[in-house]
Amino acid sequence: MGNAMRVTCPNCGSKATISSRENQSTHVADLYISCTDVKNCGATFVSTLAFKHYLNPPRQTTAELAASLLKNLPREQQLELMGL
């Protein structure tokens, strides 16, 4: 099954389920959530899910960043940084 995000109701602490998602931007979404304890609580609410930062950036992204930094340097410095 993998890792799943567990959501709890801010009112009663019961398990809650995400019913829909509305993207606000590339890395931010509003999650529409319902408490599963319908008898005693029944709250519905919106939470925001946002990407914050990488702990370990994707390899391809790191390589692309390095290449873009190198191409802006004079050829002499490029060779020096590459150990040539």
Full-model pTM:
0.63
**Confidence at residue 66, expressed as pLDDT on a 0 to 100 scale:** 75
**H/E element holding 77?**
helix 75-81
Domains and CATH numbers, the chain: 1-52 (2.20.25), 54-84 (no CATH)
Strand partners, 15: 8
Q: The tokens of 24 are what?
A: 């606000």
> What is the chain's length?
84
pLDDT digits (tens, 9 = 90+) for 12-59: 999 999 999 999 999 999 999 999 999 999 999 999 999 998 888 777
Q: 43: Cβ–Cβ under 8 A, 6 or more apart, which residues?
A: 9, 10, 11, 12, 34, 35
The amino acid present at 38, given as its one-letter code, is: V
Q: 8: Cβ–Cβ under 8 A, 6 or more apart, which residues?
A: 14, 15, 16
**Confidence at residue 16, expressed as pLDDT on a 0 to 100 scale:** 98
pLDDT band, very low/low/confident/very high, at 83 (cuts 50, 70, 90): confident
**Confidence at residue 2, expressed as pLDDT on a 0 to 100 scale:** 55
